[in-house]
Chain A
Amino acid sequence: MSKPITVLVSIDSNSLLLGARHFKNYLSNLVDTYNLGSIVEVLETGSFGDYGKGVLFLVLPENVMYSLKNEADVEKIVSEHLLKGRQVNDLLVTDFEPEGPVEARSTTVEERVVLRNAGAIDPRNIEEYIALNGYQGLAKALRISEKEVVEELKKSGLRGRGGAGFPTGMKWEFTLKVDSPDKYVICNADEGEPGTFKDRLIMEGDPHSVIEGMIIAGYAVGANKGYIYIRGEYFESVSSLRRAISQAYEYGLLGPSILGTDFSFDLSVRLGAGAYICGEETALIESIEGKSGRPRLKPPYPPVSGLYSKPTVVNNVETFACVPPIIDKGASWFKSIGTASSPGTKVYSLCGNLIKRGIVEVAMGTTAADLVYKYGGGIPNGRTLKMVQTGGAAGTFIKPEELGATLDFDSFKEFGASLGSGVILAVDDTHCAVDVARNLMEFFAHESCGKCAPCREGTHMILHILEEFSKGRGSKDLFDSLYDIASTMEDSSFCGLGQSVPVPLRSIIDRFEEEFMAHVNAAQCPVGVCKFEKKKKKR
C-alpha cells in the first residue's frame, strides 16, 4: 500500500444491504472532491462480521474503526479524520481490537483459522491472498507424498464443518485408497440450512482459501477435477469464486503442472436451483450430473463411488478453508485450538432476536451463553430470551437455563445441543413455541424431495398436527402422536433430511409441552401469536 492512509470498507452480502457499496462510492467521490486521491486509498475487503453497527470503515494506519449509518457520517469522516486528522469519536467502534477484525475477542483462545483473511485483504485480488501466506499450504503439500498429506489431516483431527462432523482425513483416505483413474473433489457450497450464512461470507471474503483447500484435497486423493456447487441464489458468492478461479488459472495454481509438478487440477462452479435437499451429498452429486436432486442409497458412499460413480471427496466450504493452514502450520498447531474431540475453531452465524447479528469465529468448546450474550450482545428491545435453536433447522432447541452447554461435535450427546452448521438462532418471549415449531415444519414439508414416504408424508402429518394446535384444535393424543411420527421418520427415512427432522421436533416438544398443552381447550394462544379458529361443534 503506497498511499499513507487506507480506508478499508467491509463488503459482503449482508453489509451490502446496509449500503456498504454506496457509502464506499460516496467516500471515493469525496476523496476526489477534496483532492485526497494521492494520500487516501479506498479499498474493499471482506466481512468484519458484525452487522449490529451498520457499515464499518477501518482506517489505517491508525487502526480506527468507524460505524456508519448514512452519508452524513461519511462526510464527517472525510472532513474530520481524513482532512484534519481528528478522530470522530461519536462514530468510533469502541470494542474493536485491531489485531482481530472478525473473530472472537477476549475469549480463551484467540486464533483465526477460517476467517484469517476475511476483512483483512481484498478478496478480489489473489496477490493479497498470496502475500499473507496464501498457497503456501499447497506448495508444502506438493512437496510431500499424497499419503503424508492425508496423515497430517488425520492427525489434525479436523472434522467436517457441514454439520455431521465426519473426520476429514479419514474421508480422504478412503478415496486415496481406491484405485481409479478418475476421481473428483466437490465443495458443498449449497448453504441452505436456515440461519447459516458463514459459507457465504467465507466465499465472499476469502475465496482463495476454499480453492486452495480443494487443490490440496485433489492432490491428496489423486483427483484432477473439482466442482464447487453453490446455491443459485448466492449471486455474490458465485461471482467471487468465478473471479478467484480465473485468477488461480492465470497464476498457474489451477490447470496443468501446478507449481512445476506433474499434478494438474481443473475447477469449475456449478449452480444449484433452489433445493435444500441438494445439500445432501448424494443429491448434490445427482444435481451436478444434471438430474433432479434426489439422494442415492448409501452405501456405497461418495468417497468410494460418487460423481459419475467415481471416488469423490465432498466437503463443506468451511472444511476446505481449514485445510491450507493445517498443512502450512502443522497438525499439532491445529490441535492446540478447540477441544480434544473437536479441534480447531467454528464459524457461527448469529441470528434471530439478537442485538448483534453476524458471524463470529471462536474456538470449539465455547458456550452457547457466550455466543448469545458476549458476541451476540443479548436480546434487543428489553425482551427475555425464550429459546435458542443451535445448529440450524435440523438442530436442537434449548432453553435459557441450558445455555451453559459447550458447543462441539459431542455436545449433542452431552448437553442435547447440536453444533450442526454453527447457527445460533435466538427467539425471544414474544414468540410462541407452537408457532415456531409450525414455521420450522413448513420448511421441512416444503423441502422434502418426495422420494421416500416416511419423509414426504411424515413432514406433512407433523405440519398438519402443529397447524391444528395453532388453530386451537390440539389434543393430548395429537401431541403424543408427534413422537410416533418422529420415531418412524427417524428409523425409516431414506436420507439424512428425513432422519434429522425428529431432532428439532423432539427438542421443542420436550421442552415446551406445557405451552403446547396450554393451546388445548383454551380460549386463545397463551402468547397471543396463534390465531385460533372457532371450534366446530361435534356431530
Chain B
Amino acid sequence: MSVDIIRDTVTRIYEDINSQSLEKGDVLINTLHAIQDHYGNFIPIEAAEVLKDLTGTPLSRIYEVLTFYTMFSTSERGKYVIRICKSLPCHVTGGQEVIDALKKRLEIGMGETTDDGLFTLEETSCLGLCGVSPVMMINDEAYGNLTAGRVNEIIDDLVSRERGE
C-alpha cells in the first residue's frame, strides 16, 4: 500500500484515539491497535510514516514499537488469527495435544498462514483463562476446555461459515 492511500484513514483513526490522550505521546499503542483492527489483523508498514508526520515521533521508534510487541504484525495474516496458549497451566492440562491437533488440522506450523488465507497460527503466553484450560483465542473470541476433537469442530465450523454453508 502506498502512504497516500492510507493517509486519510490512519489520520482519522489517530485523531479519534488521540481524544483519549492525557499527555503527549501516550496513545501510540492504542492507535496501533485501532489501525490493526481496521485493516483486519495487520498494520500496513506505511502507517508508521503517517504516524511520524502526525506525532513527530521518529520513524525508527515507531518501527521498533511495531516489531517489539507480539500482538502487532506488519505482514498480512489470516482472517482468523489463532492464538494458542503455551504456558504451563495449559500445558499440564493437555495443551500439547491441542497444539498438535491444530497443526495437523491446518497443516501449518507456528507463525504460518494457511494457503486459503483463512487461518494464522500463533502461540501466546498465558491468556488468564486458566480456570478452563487449555485455551485459545481466535481473533477476540476465547475457547476453553479444549481437546483435540473440540478444536477440529471449531475449525470445521469456521470453515463452513466461510463457505456460506
Query: Which positions in A face B, CB cutoff 8 Å?
Result: 13-14, 16-18, 51, 191-197, 199-200, 225, 227, 231-235, 266, 268-276, 287-293, 307-308, 349-353, 357-359, 389, 393, 425, 427-428, 431, 436, 439-440, 442-443, 446-447
Contacts and interface: CB of A to CB of B under 8 A. Distances in A.
Contacts of B87: 194-195, 393, 439, 443
Contacts of B91: 436, 439
Task: Report the 5 A-B pairs with minimum CB-CB distance, sorted nearest first.
Answer: A290-B28, A274-B70, A273-B69, A17-B144, A292-B68
B44 interface: no
Contacts of B61: 290-291
Nearest to A13: B129
Contacts of B132: 14, 17-18, 51, 357
Given A194-B126, A273-B32, A357-B131, A439 B88 contact: yes
Of listed A195, A276, A389, residue having the most chain B CB within 10 A:
A195
B83 interface: yes
Contacts of A273: 29, 32-33, 69-72
9 contacts: A14-B132, A191-B128, A194-B87, A273-B69, A275-B69, A287-B29, A290-B26, A308-B23, A351-B133
A14 B131 contact: yes
B148 interface: no
B142 interface: yes
A235 B25 CA distance: 23
B135 interface: yes
B155 interface: no
Interface in B110-165: 124-133, 135, 137, 140, 142-145
A117 B140 CA distance: 27
Given A431-B92, A436-B92, A289 B26 contact: yes
A431 B94 CA distance: 10
Given A270-B30, A427-B92, A292 B64 contact: yes
A14 B140 contact: no
B20 interface: yes
Contacts of A192: 125-126, 128
A439 B143 contact: no
Contacts of B135: 17
Interface in B1-43: 20-23, 25-30, 32-33
Contacts of A200: 128
Nearest to A191: B128
B126 A425 contact: no
Nearest to B55: A290
B3 to A, nearest CB: 20
Given A194-B126, A353-B93, A425-B89, A271 B30 contact: yes
Given A352-B92, A353-B92, A443-B86, A197 B130 contact: yes
Interface string B47-61: 000000000010001
Nearest to A438: B91
A194 B87 CA distance: 6
A195 B64 contact: no
A439 B85 CA distance: 12
Contacts of B128: 13, 191-192, 196-197, 199-200, 231, 233-234
A235 B27 contact: no
Given A14-B132, A274-B70, A290-B57, A194 B29 contact: no
Nearest to B126: A194
B45 interface: no
A30 B48 CA distance: 51
A14 B69 CA distance: 25
Contact of A195 (B28, B33, B89): B89
Interface in B78-120: 83, 86-89, 91-93
A165 to B, nearest CB: 21
Given A18-B144, A352-B92, A439-B91, A292 B126 contact: no
B22 A268 contact: yes
B131 A389 contact: no
A174 to B, nearest CB: 21
A17 B26 contact: no
A352 B144 CA distance: 13
Nearest to B83: A233
Contacts of A308: 23
Contacts of A287: 29
Nearest to A237: B128
A452 B68 CA distance: 15
A307 B143 CA distance: 36
A534 to B, nearest CB: 22
A225 B22 CA distance: 7
Given A195-B126, A350-B131, A351-B130, 4 more contacts: A233-B124, A234-B128, A273-B29, A307-B23
A359 B92 contact: no
Of listed B126, B131, B132, B142, residue having the most chain A CB within 10 A:
B131
A290 B143 contact: no
